[in-house]
């Protein structure tokens, strides 16, 4: 249901990135400082994968600091401290106080029934205040699921007599229908969308060289978001043959597709020569 990744880089391994349910950060631009290696660039993402980058610009040794710099003169009472606990799905379900009735929108493709996991963080009253994507049987519904998760209300979680914030893998179940399926371009129609690499129409699959039928996905900005083995090309129809020097993602550019005045996500079936 959930997963995590820790990545180490280099001959003398440094921490490259950590990705878990409630933590996502990348470290880079390592430099030596006082016999240690310190990352100077930090990347994370929030909500709908919006990237935030931070840079450490100044790092200096602090010599003989006055003790009062680190003295706590007025301790915060336990009942006023903001603490956070990560809880299990089982615990979270036992604390649900109010769950919205969700009217799921239609999707363009993929599964019409299944589950998704939304990372949710509550305040100390149990109201969900922050959500983020994590995993889903239907990626097209993740952003909507994040919005709906904000309407969940839980009973406060009490730890040592004090209410704390909660972080959790919130499981949502969806049931929807497919409407306005995404277009799949082939032949001349697909060729018009491709630039920057050698692309042409062929009437049959070439018999020389290694040719791979490939299925691509392109978002509304013209970015190639998916590439994988595709269905066999119909021998009775012209096919687009692409011969990249390094690869589709590096050499070929795909134009956004406009249908009825609206920019739309689309797929394409073509042949790739290696």
Per-residue pLDDT reduced to its tens digit, 58-93 = 999 999 999 999 999 999 998 899 999 999 999 999
Query: Tokens for 192?
Result: 């018009």
What's the confidence (pLDDT) of residue 235?
A: 67
Q: Does the residue 62 lie in any domain?
A: no
- Dihedral, CA of residue 14, residue 20, residue 22 and residue 25, to nearest 10: 30
Instruction: Tell me the C-alpha distance between 253 and 244, whole Å.
Output: 11
**Of 245 and 256, the one with more pLDDT:** 256
Q: Does the residue 235 lie in any domain?
A: yes
What is the tally of structural domains in the chain? 3
Residue 49 pLDDT > 80, yes or no? no
The residue among 196, 174, 190 whose CA lies nearest residue 257 is 190
Range in 47-51, 86-90, 175-179, 269-273 with the lowest mean pLDDT? 47-51
Place of tokens 């969806």: 174
**Of 208 and 218, the one with more pLDDT:** 218
Q: Does the residue 74 lie in any domain?
A: no
Q: Does the residue 140 lie in any domain?
A: yes
**Of 209 and 56, the one with more pLDDT:** 56
Among residues 147, 175, 203, the one where a domain terminates is 175
Total number of residues shown for the chain: 274
Among residues 116, 144, 175, the one where a domain terminates is 175
Do 141 and 197 lie in one domain? The reply is no
Contact 98, 155 (CB under 8 A): no
Instruction: Tell me the C-alpha distance between 242 and 272, whole Å.
Output: 5
Query: Tokens for 222?
Result: 């013209």
Residue 1 pLDDT > 70, yes or no? no
Do 191 and 245 lie in one domain? The reply is yes
Q: Does the residue 72 lie in any domain?
A: no
Place of tokens 């021998």: 235
How large is the average pLDDT for residues 29-48?
90
Cα distances from 140 to residues 130, 167, 171, 215, 267, in angstroms, run 20, 24, 16, 19, 15
The whole-chain average pLDDT of the chain stands at: 92
Confirm whether pTM is higher than 0.95.
no
Sign of CA dihedral 256, 261, 265, 268: negative
What's the confidence (pLDDT) of residue 105?
A: 97
Residue 25 pLDDT > 80, yes or no? yes
Do 92 and 144 lie in one domain? The reply is yes
Do 86 and 170 lie in one domain? The reply is yes
Q: Does the residue 99 lie in any domain?
A: yes
Do 120 and 165 lie in one domain? The reply is yes
Do 201 and 268 lie in one domain? The reply is yes
Residue 233 pLDDT > 80, yes or no? no
Cα distances from 247 to residues 232, 240, 274, in angstroms, run 20, 15, 9
Do 33 and 101 lie in one domain? The reply is no
Do 170 and 188 lie in one domain? The reply is no
Do 38 and 9 lie in one domain? The reply is yes
Q: Does the residue 169 lie in any domain?
A: yes
Among residues 143, 175, 207, the one where a domain terminates is 175
What's the confidence (pLDDT) of residue 78?
A: 87
Strand 211-218 with 162-175, pairing: unpaired
Model confidence at 240, pLDDT cuts 50, 70, 90, reads very high
Do 149 and 208 lie in one domain? The reply is no
What's the confidence (pLDDT) of residue 147?
A: 96
Residues spanned by the domain of 36: 5-55
Query: Tokens for 138?
Result: 């239907």
Do 130 and 167 lie in one domain? The reply is yes
Do 138 and 87 lie in one domain? The reply is yes
What's the confidence (pLDDT) of residue 191?
A: 95
Contact 80, 16 (CB under 8 A): no
**Of 233 and 226, the one with more pLDDT:** 226
Q: Does the residue 88 lie in any domain?
A: yes
């Amino acid at each position: 249901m959930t997963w995590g990744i820790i990545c180490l880089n280099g001959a003398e391994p440094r921490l490259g990135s950590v990705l878990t349910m409630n933590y996502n950060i990348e470290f880079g631009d390592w430099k030596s400082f006082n016999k240690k290696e310190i990352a100077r660039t930090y990347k994370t993402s929030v909500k709908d994968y919006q990237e935030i980058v931070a840079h450490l610009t100044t790092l200096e040794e602090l010599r003989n600091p006055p003790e009062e710099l680190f003295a706590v003169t007025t301790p915060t009472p336990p009942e006023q401290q903001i603490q956070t606990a990560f809880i299990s799905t089982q615990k979270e379900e036992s604390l649900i106080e109010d769950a919205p009735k969700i009217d799921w929108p239609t999707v363009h493709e993929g599964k019409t029934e299944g589950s998704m996991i939304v990372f949710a963080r509550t305040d100390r009253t149990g109201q969900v205040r922050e959500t983020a994507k994590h995993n889903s049987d239907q990626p097209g519904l993740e952003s909507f699921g994040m919005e709906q998760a904000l309407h969940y209300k839980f009973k406060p979680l009490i730890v040592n007599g004090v209410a704390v914030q909660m972080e959790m893998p919130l499981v949502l179940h969806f049931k929807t229908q497919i409407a306005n399926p995404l277009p799949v371009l082939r032949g001349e129609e697909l060729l018009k969308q491709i630039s920057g690499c050698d692309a042409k129409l062929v009437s049959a699959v070439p018999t020389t060289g290694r040719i791979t039928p490939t299925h691509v996905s392109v978002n509304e900005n013209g970015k190639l978001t998916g590439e994988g083995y595709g269905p066999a090309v119909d021998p009775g129809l012209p096919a687009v043959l692409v011969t990249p020097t390094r690869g589709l993602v590096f050499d070929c550019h795909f134009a956004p597709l406009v249908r009825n005045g609206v920019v739309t996500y689309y797929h394409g079936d073509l042949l790739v020569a290696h």
